Amino acid sequence: MVRVLIGGVLVLVISMGVGRFAFTPILPAMQAATGLGTDAAGLLASLNYLGYFLGALGVGLVPQGAARTAVFRTALIASVTSTAGMGFTEGMVAWAMLRFVSGLASAGLFILGIAMTLDALARAGRESWSGWLYTGVGLGIASSGLFVAVMGDRLGWRGDWLWLGLACLGFGTLSWLWVSDPPREPGHTVAARPTSAPAFRPSVPMVLLTLAYFLEGAGYIVTGTFLVAILKTMPETAQLGAAAWMVTGLAAMPSGILWAAAGRRLGLWRALILAHVVQAVGILLPITGSPAAALLSAVLFGGTFVGIVTLSFTLGRHLSGGASARVIGALTAVYGLGQIIGPVPAGLVVARTGSFDSALLGAAAAVLAGALLLAAGAWMAGRRDPAAVALGAGRG
């Protein structure tokens, strides 16, 4: 089971740390060498998130068994080749295609890799290990940041993509061998669905949570895309760019576990509101131009975005009244839409003004607006059942 868990962690390193977020530390070197504008960079980021969104919708249709394993392995190949391919190409058309394919592959790896790993842990009675799986997101971000910080000047942006692709090939080989679905047993039949499955009627608190999650996706992704580029534009913080991204990853590694504990102690609503406020502060700190504030920004940002996902999914399951799969699917969809939308206007504003300040203010405002919606949701849930807010959820 240890090998399965390691394989699952490596899947998240490949899909999220490299496939989705390695673009962030490499972006400044690409811009300096090729003249890539911030508006074009925002478009490339959005195409990656569009691929992820569409991939997430399609992957949900893949049945368990050999088909799921085959799609997962295809996504591994696509992720490795689209990462390395960035180093072999130059020009918006090729980059756009590769970033879109990378997004599709990331969705397949992230969703199917997590599902197969969690299923394997459940079959072995090791569900308690599942919290460690999500450390792969932060580990991937930290590793890619460290690699670019140490080797970026020597290899150039092309070399960064090529060597990260090679590293993903090695990690992916282990995941290929260790993460899979068992074949269906002969004569296996699918259990009939209960005839009285609970109907799901979205409550006002659930709608408010969904809207808040959309705003979180649109707000956090501005920093998630441009943090290193932001720091590189200011003389005081120019040397901290790649290092700050590494700090972001290190802070993200325990984020899900720590915020889950905060949810148990404070209640899910309160912990989620607090995480939004802390993240908004982290988004705004680079505006000060202070190196210390830049590092603190990386800590606060990295320490919240995985935690917000964890808390939102947990709260959504509480509010679903038994229809948790539908709720998590809806939350994933709106989060993906937010990520698609966020980088484009941010990139356009920066290209027009020459400063990231307005983009960061807008991103922080979106996250804080989400916190206000969550506060309204907690109030509505408390009116229905005051005890539920202490536990974190109102009744759907």
Residue 62 binned pLDDT confidence (cut-offs 50, 70, 90): confident
Is 6 a residue whose pLDDT tops 80? yes
Residue 149 binned pLDDT confidence (cut-offs 50, 70, 90): confident
Residue 21 tokens read as 């977020």
Is 211 a residue whose pLDDT tops 50? yes
Environment class of 237 (CB within 10 Å of its CB; exposed 0-12, middle 13-18, buried 19+): buried
Does pTM surpass 0.85?
Answer: no
- The residue type at 52: Y
pLDDT tens-digit map of 306-356: 899 889 888 887 887 655 556 766 787 888 899 888 888 888 888 888 889
- What is the residue whose two structure tokens read 């969690």? 118
Residue 146 tokens read as 């460290």
pLDDT tens-digit map of 77-126: 999 999 999 999 989 999 999 999 999 999 889 888 888 888 888 888 88
Is 190 a residue whose pLDDT tops 60? no
Q: Residue 301 and residue 275: Cα distance in Å, rounded?
A: 10
Quick check: 266 and 274 in contact, CB under 8 A?
yes
Residue 326 tokens read as 């539908």
Residue-range domains of the chain with CATH: 1-181 (1.20.1250.20), 201-396 (1.20.1250.20)
Type and span of the H or E element at 331: helix 324-341
User: Among 6-15, 147-156, 218-227, which is the least confidently predicted range?
Assistant: 147-156
| Mean local confidence (pLDDT), 37-41 | 91
Quick check: 281 and 300 in contact, CB under 8 A?
yes
Residue 99 tokens read as 């970033």
Distant-in-sequence, close-in-space partners of 313: CB < 8 Å, separation ≥ 6: 328, 331
pLDDT tens-digit map of 66-89: 999 999 999 999 999 999 999 999
Residue 8 tokens read as 């699952």
Q: Residue 80 and residue 73: Cα distance in Å, rounded?
A: 11
The pLDDT assigned to 133 comes to 84
| Mean local confidence (pLDDT), 229-247 | 85
- The residue type at 79: S
Quick check: 339 and 52 in contact, CB under 8 A?
yes
Q: Residue 359 and residue 287: Cα distance in Å, rounded?
A: 10
Quick check: 128 and 1 in contact, CB under 8 A?
no
Alpha helices in the chain (DSSP H): 2-12, 23-34, 38-59, 66-88, 92-123, 130-133, 135-178, 204-232, 241-252, 255-266, 268-284, 291-319, 324-341, 343-353, 357-384, 386-391
Residue 367 has a CB neighbour count (10 Å cut-off) of: 31
Is 196 a residue whose pLDDT tops 70? no
Mean pLDDT of the residues in the chain: 87
Residue 396 binned pLDDT confidence (cut-offs 50, 70, 90): very low
